Structure 1
Amino acid sequence: MKMKISTKPLAAAAALLLGGCMVGPDYHRPQVSVPATFHELPGWTQAEPAAAGPKGAWWTGFNDPLLDELEPQVVVSNQTVAQDYANYQQALAEVKVARASLFPTIGVTGSGTRQRSSTSSSVSSFSKAQTVTNSGSLEGNVSWAPDLWGSVRRTIEQNAATAQASEATLANATLSEQIALATAVIELRTSDANIDLLKQTVQAYQHFLNVVSDQDKFGTIAPSDVITARTQLETAQSNLIALGVARAQDAHAIAVLVGKNPEDLDIPHSTAMPTLPTIPVGVPSTLLQRRPDISTAERQMAAENAAIGVAVAAYYPTISLSALDGFTQSPLGGLLHVANYVWSLGGSATETIFDGGERSGEVAAAKAAYQAAVANYRGTVLTAFQDVENDLSGLRILAEQSDALDAAVRDATRGAEIAFNEYQAGTVDYTTVATAQATQLTNQQTALNVQESRLLDAASLIGDLGGGWSDSALHDPRHPESAASAASEASVSNSVSQ
């Protein structure tokens, strides 16, 4: 069977109508106030070119084998990343749905009917003849609503920007979870270092208690000295045990971040802390391209701008074209003969005369939503600058504190040694020794905490600078080859284990 559908009139109309206008404002990114340089940068480190900033596997700068092993698993197995990946795939599909409205809808309809009827006989009015009739039709149909005012194209623009916002959200979620993993590993390493420090302290306190106990046997010291030394040891032992809680929680957090049950990941004790990486910062204006959360806000703003055009298009008439082409016959025999060929063309136009202000309300709502998106974008940019300034000031101040603490730890250690020697010489009581030892331990723990804070600020700075990401990585789903590339890349990097 060969059917001919007359689409030439629609094709000719398409050539004319596809050049229709697009109502509503065209998108232009609003200007934001960007400083020439970060306020804290000169006091923190010498500025370096942005091209030297962290790229790809930024975590290798910490020189920690656990980070090198686990960070790539965040992209594969983290469930927050998996959720945002699925949201991105949904957004890409919505672009396809919107694009379909640009094209005609083509269908085929076939029907068949078998009908029995009775007719009176010419011999007797009481006798009737039975007649069975078969009828049928086979028709192709085309319908199309040309996008004269750009409503569909604005919808595509809106959905495409939403998909890009979702893609940037996926990038931001990936970076955030990677930074969270780096934070958990740094905290775990700090717990291990604290455990090592307290183990050494317990050994030292045990030695001091042995010395005091030996002196007590000869009655050369006050009995309270033994109690003080024993209490000091027991307190250190208690604190050492308590560190196990923090370490276990850090290990459990690490397991969840890489998509594992806590009991499935065993992290051995480490005696080494991560190293402080070198982080070139660049100029503030680069944040507008390097931060995925800023790109998310900017693409949401573009989507809301396109929504204004969709709302404005409702003021204009809707035009629909249709065509039918096929065969119909009763009785069924000879359905496909040329004598049974039928066709039709039709068109309709619809315009709302009065709607009680509904359309003007929709336009006003769309404009207000756009202004809210603009405020969100500018607020996100300001917050980004604040985050980086906080990180830089933290690193600068903590570096100064670290230098001061190094001297304090040396002096406290020497002071504890002198106090114990003086105690053995009988020139001071054990309270002086205990105080000096407590000061030494406090300074050592504070120095370790400052080292941890510097590492955490460094990880935070990497995240606040975008982790090497750039908005040039975003794909435009309005171009099929770009959308296919985006889906392929995302599928490879986000193949979530079931």
Structure 2
Amino acid sequence: MFSMSASRPLLRRSVVATLIGALLGACSTLPPYQRPSAAVPAQYAGATPGWAQAAPADAAPRGPWWTVFDDPVLNQLEARIEVSNQTVLKAVAQVQQARSMVDYQRAGFFPTITAGVAQDRFRTSQNVEGKSLAGKTVPDYSVGVGASWEPDLFGRVRDSVAGARADAQASEADLEGVRLSMSADLAADYFALRSLDTQKKLLDDSVTAYAAALKLLQQQLDNGAIDASAVAQATTQLEATRTQDTDIDVSRAQMQHAIATLIGEPASTFTLPPNGSLAAPPAIPVGVPSQLLERRPDIAAAERRVASANARIGVARAAFYPDLTLSASVGLESTFFAPWLSAPSLFWSLGSQLVGTLFDGGQRRATLHGANAQYDGTVADYRQSVLVAFQQVEDNLSALNALADEAASQQRATTAADLSLRLTTNRYNAGAVSYLDVVTAQTIDLTNQRIADQIAARRLESSVLLLKALGGTWDDKRLNTTATAAATAAATPG
């Protein structure tokens, strides 16, 4: 701090220090950054020729990814995820929190200005020699404005801003990942519920048919045409099928409750009318493996965290250099209130301070080592995210290929079981076989139809999981654009 009596040379030195600070502001300790390398296969191993026709980018689904299923009810439910799902809303709040940290770090580019008004009274001891105010009570009135500014000599503030921006971009990618996960969970639960509706309809029809058959057999028993064993077999079959039918109701209610939670509605107030039809698995454009790095929000988030860790290395390096602080203050001070606003009450100061740490016991070096280690860890996380992404795509491609074969063979089995039931029923009516043979054929037919429905549901679930593994319709071009703007803004503070 310099008083009003400070000489002009000191003032000139302060100005020179300011200019030096502005020149050194171009320096930066931030290490050059580029996206970490990751092994990317030339093609998907599970992408059979059937997938290749959907590979061109023009075949990519437009709009929300779930619209490829062409289900209006699903589209309506998915629209509620964005506004009502509490997990998504929490992720939105986390993005806002991360963005506020960018503003917080960016504030370091600007000076801090304070203002205050004070009124004080003090008395100096009368037994102190050599003081003109000994034994006197003195009032003091003051008002002043102070400012301090620390030029960003070695890029500490800019590196902090770059790290905060990368963290904010990672949070934005996390938000997209949460949206993708919640929408995929909703689609999977929705198709599971529709599969239960299909099986429920099949079991309802079977219960109706078995009840009619039992009634006919009971009449035949009353007429003495058959023995009681046939009625017992038909009764057993009917009640066993009713049990399965009731169990479907339990599973459907639980699935409906899960959907209600996902769309942010109490389970007790949400209902979804039954629908016995099940959508066919869509043709999914898988693209080329290199596109996966751009379409997966979790990979984008991992890459942005690498950039943030790189910026923290710059901050740790900047701690080895001195800090320059420029300060100024001006105000009015007077012992008496009457002349308080007069010119003689004016005081001011202007100064600069250059401070550096000479010895800290290795604290800064340890911080730098920690920042480098954290960077290495985020690189490993990024590469692991890439590996997991390719695994998930390959898993679901393989599952869809296998399930397509299963569906074809199961359809043949279902057709054969249906034919066997008709032939066995005809032979029973002709008196060639017992009713036990009919019950066995009916059980086999029902089982095969249920298996066919379950395979269809698994194909839809695998389609949803594949779309999720491919990143839906999201891409990281927005984050790349934001990163470029962030670098430009950091290079030109203010």
Asked whether the two chains share a fold, i.e. TM above 0.5, the reply is yes
Partner of 2:27, secondary structure, is: coil
Whichever residue aligns with residue 205 of structure 1, its letter is: Y
Unaligned runs of at least 5 residues, structure 2: 1-10, 127-134, 490-494
Distance 1:214 1:37 in 2: 66
Distance 1:134 1:10 in 2: 39
CA-based RMSD of the aligned residues comes to 2.6
Shift of the 296–51 alpha-carbon distance from structure 1 to 2, 3 Å rule, reads: farther
Residue 492 of structure 1 corresponds to: none
Check the 8 A contact 2:120/2:141 in 1, yes or no.
Answer: yes
Residue 403 of structure 1 corresponds to: 408
Count of matched residue positions in the alignment of Structure 1 and Structure 2: 467
Residue 81 of structure 1 corresponds to: 88
Check the 8 A contact 2:328/2:350 in 1, yes or no.
Answer: yes
Distance 1:118 1:216 in 2: 122
Residue 208 of structure 2 corresponds to: 203
Whichever residue aligns with residue 40 of structure 2, its letter is: V
Shift of 1:17: 4.4
Q: What are the residue-to-residue correspondences of 1:313-352 with 2, within 5 Å? A: 313-352=318-357
Distance 1:437 1:14 in 2: 92
Asked if residue 169 in structure 1 is aligned to residue 174 in structure 2, the reply is: yes
Q: What are the residue-to-residue correspondences of 1:148-227 with 2, within 5 Å? A: 148-227=153-232
Unaligned runs of at least 5 residues, structure 1: 1-5, 120-129, 484-498
Check the 8 A contact 2:54/2:284 in 1, yes or no.
Answer: no
Shift of 1:113: 3.8
Whichever residue aligns with residue 19 of structure 2, its letter is: A
Q: Aligned match of 1:108 in 110, 115, 126?
A: 115
Distance 1:87 1:341 in 2: 48
Asked if residue 361 in structure 1 is aligned to residue 370 in structure 2, the reply is: no
Asked if residue 34 in structure 1 is aligned to residue 66 in structure 2, the reply is: no
Whichever residue aligns with residue 300 of structure 1, its letter is: R
Shift of 1:429: 1.6
Distance 1:260 1:137 in 2: 60
Shift of the 477–33 alpha-carbon distance from structure 1 to 2, 3 Å rule, reads: closer
Shift of the 117–423 alpha-carbon distance from structure 1 to 2, 3 Å rule, reads: closer
Shift of 1:43: 4.2
Distance 1:151 1:170 in 2: 28
Distance 2:256 2:119 in 1: 70
Shift of the 478–48 alpha-carbon distance from structure 1 to 2, 3 Å rule, reads: closer
Q: What are the residue-to-residue correspondences of 1:67-466 with 2, within 5 Å? A: 67-113=74-120, 135-466=140-471
TM-score, structure 1 as length reference: 0.88
Provide, for residues 184-237 of structure 1, a one-character-per-residue CA deviation record: whole Å limited to 9, x for no partner.
Answer: 110110111010000111122123323333333343434212111110011001
Provide, for residues 138-168 of structure 1, a one-character-per-residue CA deviation record: whole Å limited to 9, x for no partner.
Answer: 3221111222121111111111100100010
Check the 8 A contact 1:61/1:276 in 2, yes or no.
Answer: no
Provide, for residues 217-275 of structure 1, a one-character-per-residue CA deviation record: whole Å limited to 9, x for no partner.
Answer: 34343421211111001100111011111100011011100001001211111122123
Distance 1:115 1:175 in 2: 67
Check the 8 A contact 2:25/2:155 in 1, yes or no.
Answer: no
Check the 8 A contact 2:114/2:146 in 1, yes or no.
Answer: yes
Shift of the 439–11 alpha-carbon distance from structure 1 to 2, 3 Å rule, reads: farther
Q: Aligned match of 1:22 in 25, 28, 44?
A: 28
Identity, in percent, stands at 40
Partner of 1:435, secondary structure, is: helix
Shift of the 377–131 alpha-carbon distance from structure 1 to 2, 3 Å rule, reads: closer
Whichever residue aligns with residue 155 of structure 1, its letter is: S
Shift of 1:367: 1.0
